[in-house]
Amino acid sequence: MNDIFFMKEAIKQAKNGVGFVNPNPLVGSIIVKNSKIIGTGYHKKFGNSHAEINALKQAGKKSENATIYITLEPCFHHGKTPPCVDVIISAGIKRCVIASKDPNPKVNGKSIKKLRENGVEVDVSVCKEEAKEINKPFFKFIRTKLPFVYLKLGITLDGKIATASYNSKWITNTSARHHSHQLRSKYMSLLVGANTIIKDNPSLTCRIKGKNNPYRIILDGNLKIPKTSKVLKNNEDKKTIIITSKDNKKKSINYNANFIFLKGKKFSFKEILVALGKLNIDSILVEGGNKIISQAFKENIIDEGDIIVAPKIIGDSKAVSFVSGFSTNLIKDSIYLKNLEIKKIGNNVCFHFKKS
Amino acid sequence: MNDIFFMKEAIKQAKNGVGFVNPNPLVGSIIVKNSKIIGTGYHKKFGNSHAEINALKQAGKKSENATIYITLEPCFHHGKTPPCVDVIISAGIKRCVIASKDPNPKVNGKSIKKLRENGVEVDVSVCKEEAKEINKPFFKFIRTKLPFVYLKLGITLDGKIATASYNSKWITNTSARHHSHQLRSKYMSLLVGANTIIKDNPSLTCRIKGKNNPYRIILDGNLKIPKTSKVLKNNEDKKTIIITSKDNKKKSINYNANFIFLKGKKFSFKEILVALGKLNIDSILVEGGNKIISQAFKENIIDEGDIIVAPKIIGDSKAVSFVSGFSTNLIKDSIYLKNLEIKKIGNNVCFHFKKS
């Protein structure tokens, strides 16, 4: 079926925006006339023009009587740009094929209705699941105002993320580590605990050329990370955010970072997600360490994740386990990774799982 | 090449004897005349007639001027059966294709020499690696008098083999557990520690119909396993062997088991392997628990193994790790599994490794 072929092209277009549009959705669009693609476009960057506008521009006057494929229902509302639905109508588009309705309450079917009222033939739900798959953070965030949570972990066969002396370079292989940087380019923020900063002093940047760095979220109830930490010293992009206790407001003045202040010193993931959602952060990549990972499993807030296992054994009970703090008596009560996909990455194995 | 085709058939034949011939080698044989198989045979059971004899019997008088394929050099010596080399010569075989020389000092090229001296054309080393692969326990044992050691482990993603309350049913899936029983049918003995008997009270039998049970070796320095243990109560086949301290000689009289007595109470794998080798046990399947596995890694005596990882997380630091007792400071000093093959078993992953 041609519709599926062209929609898949539109989805490919959408993916070009990965990492640059959050918390907006990834959107791609294709304009087709007499079975030929006469325009392509995608949403390139947060605040820039929308996918369908870029495609219409490319097609120009030929858009008249053409079919437009869009991975998401066009917008109905004045946001950073004028409503796309009006532009489509005035371009003389004959048929509009949409992969998924926009769950944003400001849209949510209104554009589809308007298109039909203006004589545009509309088909919805072509490649719907695929289109939703690429926008999982958006779909969660628009509905719940809570960021999508992705866990990324590299462990040894004995379930460790570091030796007793906190050495962790490197557990996984080069390809697996490249995969981690791809994830950093994809999700809007990266969350680690204060211990990770203190022990490893990581940069928490994305080392893939041309890709955006994620926001660096440091969970540090006691505000104990050193001011010389790389995440503070190299904070030119102002993307370092420390989550700490309200009691540290005064102390925080001397830190080169943005702050989120919460009550108490130990925070639940629930309150962290609410706070980050308020900053319009639509997604979090959780990278560790033990405390944060364990809490994430306890609160069952992980939407999707990769646990990558390397064929190494540390064999030391004092080495750092990726998870602890449970008291499981029976194997049947252990945590089961759901919707599993297993993928070899060279001599490492990725256990990919999804909550739903 | 026809030789490879027919030798592969002979190897297939050889595999029919898995688990029944130890400490003899698996051997298969095919007799071919005018490109047609006129006889097949394999070594069926320890003490029974050899593969080539079974094949010659099937071919009967047609063996004259035929080619015989054998996965191992025919025997030269009177053992449980008369020397096969003489039977081949007197059957009038024209050509003899052999996959591997027999490293047994009683043979080791002597039969090849005798065949040639008697006008039989001989070709050696066709599918040599494959033929050696199926007989790894034999090749190690004949050279070193030490059993081949195979490790089989089922672990959670956090490297545990049981919960803190010693529940372990079941970590791996049905297919992985079936694979374990296949291993039990393949290796001559099964080694576990006293704790495994005390906590799990397993039968340690092979649950595949028609297959042999392995010898059940229990490492129990203090002779603390209960007399009501299944391995003692259901010991009709007299295959339970307890390795314990010399000090327990008197106490041992009341146990329905065979005994190996060693000095002290803690035994090195080296002395265990020597003792089992003396009993003509050519291979050991090590199944656990933590102490035995850790020691096996420490002494680096594992020849080959499977670590099967299930997508479950116990998350309890008091749960039983499969390995401990190392004090690895740097990741680069951790144990690396070598010659790795990774295989999915449903939602479990098997890390198969070999020492060499």
pLDDT tens sequence across B310-319: 999 999 999 9
Please state, in angstroms and rounded to a whole number, the distance separating the CA atoms of residues B237 and B189.
Answer: 13
Please state, in angstroms and rounded to a whole number, the distance separating the CA atoms of residues A16 and B341.
Answer: 35
Identify which of A142, A133, A68 has the alpha carbon closest to the alpha carbon of residue A104.
A142
Evaluated on CA atoms A185, A186, A188, A191, the torsion sign reads: negative
Three-state secondary structure string covering chain B = CHHHHHHHHHHHHHHCCCCCCCCCCCCEEEEEECCEEEEEEECCCCCCCCHHHHHHHHHHHHHCCCEEEECCCCCCCCCCCCCHHHHHHHCCCCEEEECCCCCCCCCCCHHHHHHHHCCCEEEECCCHHHHHHCCHHHHHHHHHCCCEEEEEEEEECCCEEECCCCCCCCCCCHHHHHHHHHHHHHCCEEEEEHHHHHHHCCCCCCCCCCCCCCEEEEECCCCCCCCCCHHHHCCCCCCEEEEEEHHHHHHHCCCCCEEEEECCCCCCHHHHHHHHHHCCCCEEEEEECHHHHHHHHHCCCCCEEEEEEECEECCCCCCEECCCCCCCCCHHHCEECCCCEEEEECCEEEEEEECC
Task: Note the pLDDT of residue B64.
Answer: 96
Q: Which value does ipTM take for this structure?
A: 0.91
Please state, in angstroms and rounded to a whole number, the distance separating the CA atoms of residues A318 and B329.
Answer: 10
Which pair of structure tokens corresponds to residue B62?
Answer: 């047609």
> Who has greater pLDDT, B153 or B211?
B153
How far lies B29's CA from each of A71, A274, B39, B61, B105, in Å?
Answer: 64, 72, 8, 17, 22
Please state, in angstroms and rounded to a whole number, the distance separating the CA atoms of residues A135 and A23.
Answer: 10
CB burial class (10 A; 0-12, 13-18, 19+) of residue A228?
exposed
Task: Note the pLDDT of residue B321.
Answer: 97
| CB distance B99 to B127 below 8 Å | yes
Q: How confident is the model at residue B1 (pLDDT cuts 50, 70, 90)?
A: low
Task: Note the pLDDT of residue A210.
Answer: 86
- What is the average per-residue pLDDT within B194-203? 93
In the chain, the amino acid numbered B143 is R
- Measured between beta carbons, which residues in chain B are less than 8 angstroms from residue A324? 315-317
Task: Note the pLDDT of residue A207.
Answer: 87
Which pair of structure tokens corresponds to residue A20?
Answer: 């640059």
Integer-rounded Cα radius of gyration of chain B = 23
CB-closest option in A313, A323, A342 to B158: A323
Q: How confident is the model at residue B288 (pLDDT cuts 50, 70, 90)?
A: confident
- Measured between beta carbons, which residues in chain B are less than 8 angstroms from residue A302? none
Please state, in angstroms and rounded to a whole number, the distance separating the CA atoms of residues A81 and A48.
Answer: 8
Give per-residue pLDDT as tens, B107-155.
Answer: 999 999 999 999 999 999 999 999 999 999 999 999 999 999 999 999 9
| CB distance A119 to A25 below 8 Å | no
Give per-residue pLDDT as tens, A284-311.
Answer: 999 989 999 999 999 999 999 999 999 9
CB-closest option in A164, A321, A334 to B317: A321
Average pLDDT score, chain B: 95
Residue B79 above 90 pLDDT?
no
Cβ–Cβ below 8 Å for B331 and A344: no
Cβ–Cβ below 8 Å for B330 and A170: no
Alpha carbon B89 to chain centroid distance?
32
Helices (H), A134-211: 136-144, 174-186, 194-200
Identify which of A64, A325, A78, A287 has the alpha carbon closest to the alpha carbon of residue A177.
A287
Best of A153, A171, A327, A353 to disrupt the B interface by mutation (most B CBs within 10 Å)? Answer: A327
Alpha-carbon dihedral of residues A190, A194, A195, A197, nearest 10 degrees?
60
Please state, in angstroms and rounded to a whole number, the distance separating the CA atoms of residues B71 and B130.
Answer: 9
Task: Note the pLDDT of residue B305.
Answer: 98
Residues of chain A with pLDDT under 70: 1
- What is the average per-residue pLDDT within B295-302? 97
| CB distance A22 to A141 below 8 Å | no
* Residue indicated by tokens 């890390």: B351
Task: Note the pLDDT of residue A1.
Answer: 53
Cβ–Cβ below 8 Å for B171 and A335: no
Percent of chain B with pLDDT over 90: 93
What does the DSSP 8-state code read for residue A108? T
Please state, in angstroms and rounded to a whole number, the distance separating the CA atoms of residues B141 and B144.
Answer: 5
Identify which of A227, A225, A267, A216 has the alpha carbon closest to the alpha carbon of residue A245.
A267
- Measured between beta carbons, which residues in chain A are less than 8 angstroms from residue B351? 157, 311, 349
Task: Note the pLDDT of residue A253.
Answer: 94
Please state, in angstroms and rounded to a whole number, the distance separating the CA atoms of residues B301 and B51.
Answer: 32
State yes or no: is B271 an active-site residue.
Answer: no
Apex CA B239: angle with CA B229 and CA B276, to 5°? 110
Note the residue count of chain B. Answer: 356
CB-closest option in A313, A335, A349 to B297: A313
- Measured between beta carbons, which residues in chain B are less than 8 angstroms from residue A313? 297, 323, 326, 334-335, 337
Identify which of A108, A132, A185, A116 has the alpha carbon closest to the alpha carbon of residue A26.
A132
Task: Note the pLDDT of residue B78.
Answer: 81
* Residue indicated by tokens 């130990």: A266
